[in-house]
Amino acid sequence: MATAVVPLKMFGDSEFSLSGDYLVYWRDFAFSKGVSASTLLEGSGIPVNMLLNPPDRIAHANMYPVSVNLLNVLGDCYQTAVELGQFLEERKHGLLGLAVQGANNLLDASKILVQYILTRTSVQNVEVVPSEQYYRLRFQNNAEHKFESAPEVMVLYELSTLVSIEAILRRMLEGHILSGASRMNFTVPAPELVPDYLSHSDSVIMFEQPFMELCIPVSWMELPFQAADEELGQAATKLCESELRNLQPKDIVERLLDKIQQVEGAKPSLEEMAAEMFMSASTLQRRLKDQGMTYQKIKSVARLRQAQNLLVNSNIPLDDIASTLGFSDASNFSKSFKTWTGLTPIAFRNQHNECLPPS
């Protein structure tokens, strides 16, 4: 049986988002460093109560100021990034981390990471680039994401990501005698003072490289994991698959139609629907105008689809259909339906029933 797709709760007006887990991670890390909630969230648009009840997804544009605020308080971006990476390693990167750790070996784990990275972030892509010596996990910005990050934030992102993933990888390979050394390639400049964690790392550390990469020796890729929980990993993978389907880009018009068709009675106003989608009414109007649509047209299409579905797939009286669609009475519904289709609701229902095969 296929896993049901549960609608995701999204905060922020952005095509690019992160898992809401990261708001929790940033919260807990900040609190461990004595950074207050108000300081952490300043200028982000994120309400304080969201730290207690985070959304499933959060817009990158809203999370970015959180990282800036964290660095403004803690200072040294390289040391902060390493400490955040160690903190993230303990939390294993949510469902995707569980799915990866339920794999049989690093080769399978890398395939899971590539396939489901979107469930963690739509800002970055990851690909596996094999070579004679390494399997390179290469992280790159989504080509459509034009957001320019401050250099300090790039340090925070690159170091915390690779430090955490490399630590998880080594834990999964405990018990094996490893030949060769992994390598962490960062695109950011080398610091004046390299954090102790990196200075004493078993991995080769390189800065100012063309790509952000975790390079894993080929000989490590098929070593079996010592404590892989396959059942838990498979369950996590199924949930990642469900979330991935729900995250596939959907046209704004179709998203609105889906939402409006779920509402019985009077349809939501433009302002109400914009608020539900975490954007301003003017932004929603602009995005619809770009596609040659208006909100009023979309409401009419949604009503028509609902009406056709109820007429074809039920025996509900016209008065009840009219009420469900937000019309004052069956007469007004019939007039609107005939304007839409050229047929009265009764004629449309009869025409469809005549086409049905005998039961």
User: How many CA atoms lie within 13 Å of 12's alpha carbon, on the beta-carbon side?
Assistant: 25
Calpha distance 218→238 (Å, rounded): 28
pLDDT at 313: 87
Block residue for tokens 């390493």: 82
User: How many CA atoms lie within 13 Å of 165's alpha carbon, on the beta-carbon side?
Assistant: 27
b/e per residue 299-314 (b: at least 16 CB within 10 A)? bbbbbbebbbebbeee
Q: What is the four-CA torsion angle of 50, 92, 32, 64, rounded to 10 degrees?
A: -50
Residue 222 burial class via C-beta count within 10 angstroms: exposed 0-12, middle 13-18, buried 19 and up = exposed
Side-by-side strand order, sheet with 183-185:
124-130, 134-141, 212-217, 183-185, 204-206
pLDDT at 76: 93
Residue 129: strand, helix, or coil: strand
pLDDT at 133: 94
CB 163 within 8 A of CB 197: yes
Amino acid (1-letter code) at residue 178: L
CB 216 within 8 A of CB 204: no
Calpha distance 201→183 (Å, rounded): 10
CA separation (Å) from 21 to 81, 119, 254? 18, 11, 27
Calpha distance 10→218 (Å, rounded): 39
Calpha distance 117→125 (Å, rounded): 7
b/e per residue 66-76 (b: at least 16 CB within 10 A)? bbbbbbeebee
Calpha distance 117→103 (Å, rounded): 15
Calpha distance 161→145 (Å, rounded): 19
CA-closest candidate to residue 85, choices 195, 202, 175: 195
pLDDT at 151: 93
CA separation (Å) from 39 to 30, 31, 283? 10, 11, 28
Phi, psi at 19, each rounded to 5° = -60, 140
Calpha distance 64→153 (Å, rounded): 8
Ordered by where they begin, the domains of the chain are 10-125+142-180+223-246 (no CATH), 252-355 (1.10.10.60)
CA separation (Å) from 13 to 10, 49, 59, 124, 287? 9, 19, 7, 18, 11
Phi, psi at 357, each rounded to 5° = -70, 150
CA-closest candidate to residue 43, choices 67, 73, 9: 67
pLDDT at 356: 45
pLDDT at 355: 53
Residues 6+ apart with CB under 8 A from 92: 98, 101, 168
Calpha distance 156→33 (Å, rounded): 15
Write out the chain's pLDDT in tens, 359 residues: 333 334 567 676 666 889 999 999 999 999 999 999 999 999 999 999 999 999 989 989 899 999 999 999 999 999 999 999 999 987 777 888 888 878 889 999 999 998 888 889 988 889 999 999 999 999 998 766 667 889 999 999 999 999 999 999 998 898 899 999 999 999 999 999 999 999 999 999 999 999 999 999 999 999 998 756 778 888 888 888 888 877 765 567 877 888 888 887 778 888 888 777 656 788 788 878 877 889 988 888 888 888 888 898 888 899 998 888 888 888 988 988 888 888 898 988 888 776 544 44
